[in-house]
Every structure is written in C-alpha cells, then in structure tokens.
Amino acid sequence: MSFFDSRDPAFDSYVLGNAPVKQLATGFDWVEGPVWFGDAGCLLFSDIPNNRIVRWTPGSGVTTYRQPSNYSNGHTRDREGRLVSCEHGARRVTRTEHDGRITVIADSFEGKRLNSPNDVVVKSDGTIWFTDPHYGIMTNYEGYAAEQELPCNLYRVDPASGRMDAMVTDANCPNGLAFSPDESRLYMADTGRMFSDDPQHIRAFDVGSAGRLAGGDVFHVIEPGCSDGLRVDVDGNLWSSAADGVHCISSNGDLLGKILVPELVSNVCFGGRAKHELYMTATTSIYRVTLNRQGVQHP
C-alpha cells in the first residue's frame, strides 16, 4: 500500500517511502485544530461536538485537556508559548495564560457579536489573525444555533493596543490560515457558505510593511473536497487538508503530491522533536506521518 501520490519529483524528496501514515487515536466525532506543544511533548486538538480539547502524548495516549471547551475549533500558540483558541460556543478568541487563566482576545466587532471564530495564526509582531465564518452558529452540532450578526471576515487583533481590524471582508466563509516563512504572504482558505454552491479555494494575499493586505487572488483549488486547514514548511510549500488526505502545494500554486489518508482531513500541523512530523486531524481520528521536511512553527 502506498501512502503517497507524487505529482512532481520534488515531492519524492519530501516524503519517506518507509514512513507510514499512522493512526494515533480514534473514536472522536469531528476533530480539528491541532497544535503541537514542543516544550510539553504533546499535541492538543479539538473534538468539537463533544465540547472538549484533547491531549495526545507519545507513549501515554489520549487524555482530556479541557472540558467544556466552549466548542473550541482552531488553535495556535503565541510568541510567548500560550495557547490561543477559537471558541464556537462563546463566539470568541481566547488566550490561555501560563497560570491557566483565560483572557478574551475578541468577542465582538463594532458592537456586534462575532459569528464563530474558526482558525487562528499569530504573526511575529504578536498580532493575532483569525477567521470568523458562520459554521458554528448554523446548527447546534458544533456550538449553538444563533442569528448571524456580522459578515464572515478575517480579523487582526493587536493585543498590545486592543485594536481590532477587519482585514478581508469579501470572502464567503474564510477558514484556514497560514503565513509564508518570511510573512510576506498570507494564505487563506475560503470554504464557502453552508448550504450553498459557493466556489471553494485558497487565496493568497501580499502582506505590506504595515500589515495591510493586497491581492487576494485564487492561489489554488483543492480537488477532491476543499481546503480547510493549512500549514507551511520552511521552504514555503503549503500543506492543505483535502477530502483524500493532505495536499502539498508549491509557492507557485502547483500540486506537488498528496499524502493519502482514509478519512476526510480537517486540519494539519507540524510537530515532533524536529518539527518534521505532520499531524492530521481527520473526521474521527488523528494521524501522523514523518516527513523529510520541517514545518514553520513556534515556539
């Protein structure tokens, strides 16, 4: 059985033929938002319908990190190593302090409640960027059904000043996010409005010196399925979730190859001792594959 579908010779050097795609744990309902904690040697991820954040530790397996979790979805770490989370249920973005206290980063914009923050990244200047589609308020499965008060935007928050700006306002439903290694480009998945036939694609924006975005053209279209979660390796290749696994896309937008996974993948992150392992949340399970490539990740 082959775990890889190569479309370009470059991809052959990224994967290891004897490294399997390994299922690490299963039995969840819908897993999302993986984030690696290198200092703790563990992976955190969301089991959204079960309202919990789960911890997976090599050699120890699965334990519950936080329950209830306000139906958390995407996670990342800030430049001080703190967990930053998107919460569907509370319709907010939070930060878990080192002492366990939870700080609210954003829960409203211009006097209206956020929809259901989905995915989040932190730039080297400390600013927090997150997408706010409506998925978590459309039904009671991943949160609480509620009226939508705001468009589905991409936001940036400066935690030092508290200033919050809508950076992309013309997306249907912005989702996964990733900066290029030098942060000159921001990738954003647009998975479309629920119950619609919106186009689904990855867009690329040029990041200006003041943090403003320009461009936003379609960068790549995933087939089959659509892009949900994104991560970037040190060479600038984009690794995106897809219906058949994870797709590796060059910085030019060309498909280099696929990692084949037997479940629909929702999100990915790099981890392990050398940031050379790709962790994949896929419907009811989490998977891992060792690569000959390192991810851009902090701390």
Q: For 204-241, what is each residue's pLDDT tens digit?
A: 999 998 889 999 999 999 999 999 999 999 999 999 99
Q: Which residues pair with 197 in a beta bridge?
A: none
Q: Show the low-confidence residues of the chain (pLDDT under 50).
A: none
- Token representation of residue 218: 């379609």
Q: Could you give the CA distance from residue 289 to residue 15 in angstroms, rounded to a whole number? A: 9
Would you call 175 helix, strand, or coil by DSSP?
Answer: strand
- Report pLDDT for 263: 98
pLDDT of residue 196: 78
Largest CA distance in the chain: 54
**N-terminal to C-terminal alpha carbon distance within the chain:** 35
**Which pLDDT value is given to residue 298?**
62
The predicted pLDDT at position 212 comes to 93
The pLDDT assigned to 211 comes to: 84
What pLDDT score was predicted for residue 210? 80
pLDDT at 101: 98
